[in-house]
C-alpha cells in the first residue's frame, strides 16, 4: 500500500530551487522553505528517534516549540528543522535519540 505525501509545496513560476541531501537522497526544493517543509513535501516523515525506546518521531508544531523536528545538519546535531531555512548543498541526517553533550560542545564535530 502506498500513500501520497500529505504536505506539498505549490510550484511557483521563476522559483529558485536549491539542492539538499537527506540520508543520501538528493532533492531539489524551493529556496527559502524550512528543512522540515522540504523533507515533508518529499515524503520523508521520520526525522529523529525518541530518546527512550527509539520510536520514530516527526514534526508536530512547525513553529519551534515541540522539538520533534530535530535533525543533524552539516554535522551539527539537534537543529530544529522547522526553524532552519534550506540552503544549497545542505546535508541533513536523522537525529538518533539524544546527541551527546560532547558532540554539542564541539559543534557536532567528532573528536576522538
User: For residue 102, what pLDDT is reported?
Assistant: 53
Predicted structure pTM score:
0.80
**Is 87 strand, coil or helix?**
coil
CATH code of the domain containing 33: 3.10.20.740
Query: Does 9 map to a domain?
Result: no
Query: Does 61 map to a domain?
Result: yes
User: For residue 101, what pLDDT is reported?
Assistant: 53
The answer to whether 12 touches 29, Cβ cutoff 8 Å, is no
User: For residue 3, what pLDDT is reported?
Assistant: 47
Ranges of the chain whose pLDDT falls below 70: 1-8, 10-11, 99-112
Domain count, the chain: 1
> What domain range is 81 assigned to?
17-97
Query: Does 8 map to a domain?
Result: no
Query: Does 65 map to a domain?
Result: yes
User: For residue 93, what pLDDT is reported?
Assistant: 97
Pairing state of beta strands 70-73 and 76-80? antiparallel
- What are 1-20's pLDDT values in tens digits? 444 555 667 667 788 999 99
Query: Does 1 map to a domain?
Result: no
User: For residue 1, what pLDDT is reported?
Assistant: 42
Query: Does 10 map to a domain?
Result: no
Amino acid at each position: 500500500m502506498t500513500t501520497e505525501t500529505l504536505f506539498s509545496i505549490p510550484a511557483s513560476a521563476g522559483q529558485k530551487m536549491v539542492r539538499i541531501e537527506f540520508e543520501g537522497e538528493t532533492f531539489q526544493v524551493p529556496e527559502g522553505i524550512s528543512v522540515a517543509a522540504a523533507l515533508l513535501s518529499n515524503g520523508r516523515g521520520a526525522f529523529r528517534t525518541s530518546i527512550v525506546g527509539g520510536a520514530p518521531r516527526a514534526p508536530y508544531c512547525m513553529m519551534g516549540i515541540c522539538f520533534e523536528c530535530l535533525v543533524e545538519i552539516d554535522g551539527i546535531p539537534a537543529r530544529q528543522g522547522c526553524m532552519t531555512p534550506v540552503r544549497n548543498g545542505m546535508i541533513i541526517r536523522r537525529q538518533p535519540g539524544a546527541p551527546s553533550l560532547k558532540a554539542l560542545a564541539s559543534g557536532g564535530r567528532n573528536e576522538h
